[in-house]
Amino acid sequence: MALKGKRKSRNRGSQARRRPASAPRPTSVTRKPPWYRTTGGLTVAGLGLLVLLIFGAWLIANTKAHNRDVESKKKALETYTEDVRAAVQSLTQPVTEMTAAAQQMPDDLKKKAQAWQEAITATQTSFGQKVAPGDAVSAQTLFQQAIQSFTFAAIDYGLVP
């Protein structure tokens, strides 16, 4: 049995089928520029670059000043080392002779002991006038005590005869 009203209507005219609807119009979207292209972003980037340049200049200047300080300390230590070597050179002869004092005759020992004492005292006086750099103060103190010990030994050798 046929159902009434289920048929296509004939009064549509020449339009046989409906056309599909057209696509919706695109809406205009305004995009924000990236932060680095905005005035604020360029200002922040410029200030950051300026801070980096200032920090770099400070770092270079600080490094150069530190290197100058190290060089001056190194030069002072080298000068002090040369002074110590000169003092050791002047002590070498009397101390070497003092090690062979056991084979000396008593009369010769008294004369030589006086010469040793004078040479060691002269070295002690000249070395005592030298100023040690900050790191070598304890070494200078020890060296002066050693020279003083040699002076006492020379005095003792003079008293033996």
Give phi and psi for 70, each to the nearest 5.
Answer: -65, -40
Residue 69, SS3 per DSSP: helix
Task: Report the pLDDT averaged over residues 125-149.
Answer: 89
Q: 79-105, pLDDT tens digit by residue?
A: 999 999 999 999 999 988 888 887 777
Whether the per-residue pLDDT at 10 is higher than 60: the answer is: no
Interatomic CA distance for residues 151 and 88, integer angstroms: 14
Average pLDDT, the chain: 86
Output the pTM of the full model.
0.61
Residue 24, SS3 per DSSP: coil
For the chain, how big is the Rg over CA atoms in Å? 50
CB 157 within 8 A of CB 98: yes
